Amino acid sequence: MGAYEIAAGFAGFIWPLFRKRRRISVENIMKAGVADSESEARRIAKAAWCHLAGHIGEALFVPGVVNAANWREHIDPTGADPESVKLLLEETDKPILLVSAHHGTWEAATNILSFARPMIAIARVMNSRLVANWLKKHHFRGKITVIDKNHGFTPDIIRQWKDTCAALTILIDQHTKKGARLKFFSRPARTFTSATRLAMRTGAPIVVGTFVRIAPYRYRLVSEGGPLVFPPDADRDAATQLLNDRLEAAIRRYPEQYLWCHRRWRD
């Protein structure tokens, strides 16, 4: 039994204790139209909760399993548009934006992708200095530059992104009070527009996709369509809505691997 199975099994055991998260998950799944019945919604909710724990448990061991010599063996590109795969993994001489969601194996994926090209991730920095130092010491997220999402795109970060031709990774599916009021699973959802605005300003292409777990330490890139390039005068909200639509399509294919317990829809 591996780390994923142990962590997922423990999560399943304690799932009954998290009444609020169960309720939020089931409500989100039903209102998103992912399940036809409440019993099916409960099944997906529990599976997603167990996957979250299993993914984090497995991600802790990714640095000891995946290396520069074998990283390609751990990525399955068959679920993605070939042009997106080429841009992300092969044409590493230009900076790109990677727009994703809390779906699949986002922690493990950024770690593995760091062997293909430099990675910069806008993410939550742990409040505990002890935890943050431990994660850094053990390369939990791989050799990537993690930027506190509260600090945004500073000139130094933009310069580093362009100079190193990195993939700047942004997860846009969490609630934000200041985002555009768009649709996610046909429901109003405040959405971050930072990726769209940066793409419009710089002309950098966007790859939209997620990595789902298909086997121990093996992850499939799921990308609905090719890379996106937005001109400076593009409709910002319409462009961001397209990102939401592509992420929604990926989540619908693998609903058991999405973070349904998050209060995404608050309007």
Per-residue pLDDT of 53-93, as tens digits, reads: 999 999 989 988 999 999 999 999 998 999 999 999 999 99
Per-residue confidence band for 227, with pLDDT thresholds at 50, 70 and 90? very high
The model's pLDDT over 29-42, given as tens digits with 9 standing for 90+, comes to 999 999 999 999 99
pTM of the model: 0.91
SS3 assignment, position 92? coil
Any domain includes 95: yes
Q: Hey, which residues does 207 pair with through a beta bridge?
A: 98
Q: What average pLDDT is seen over the chain?
A: 91
Indicate whether 13 pLDDT > 60.
yes
Note whether 237 and 182 are within 8 A (CB): yes
pLDDT for the residue 165: 95
pLDDT at residue 139 greater than cutoff 90 = no
pLDDT confidence bin for 178, thresholds 50/70/90: confident
Any domain includes 4: no
Please tell me the distance from the alpha carbon of residue 178 to that of residue 195, in angstroms, as a whole number.
14
Please report the pLDDT score of residue 7 as a whole number. Answer: 96
Report the candidate in 155, 247, 233 with the shortest Cα–Cα distance to residue 192.
247
Q: Is the pLDDT of residue 47 over 70?
A: yes
**Tens-place pLDDT, residues 186-198:** 999 999 999 999 9
Per-position b or e across 152-180, b if 16+ CB within 10 A of its CB: ebeeebbebbeeeebbbbbbbbbeeeebb
* Bigger pLDDT: 266 vs 213: 213
Mean pLDDT of 95-114: 93
Is 177 a domain residue?
Answer: yes
Q: Please give the structure tokens belonging to residue 197.
A: 């605005």
* % helix, strand, coil for the chain, step of 5: 50, 20, 35
Total domains present in the chain: 1
Amino acid at 205: P
Question: How far does Cα 156 stand from its chain's mean position?
Answer: 24
Percent of the chain with pLDDT over 70: 91
Q: Does the residue 45 lie in any domain?
A: no
Is residue 192 domain-resident?
A: yes
Residue 213 resides in a domain: yes
Q: What is the reported pLDDT for 262?
A: 93
Q: Which domain holds residue 76?
A: 71-254
pLDDT of residue 26 exceeding 90: yes
Residue 43 lies in a domain: no
- For tokens 């790109």, what's the residue? 96
For residue 138, the SS3 value is coil
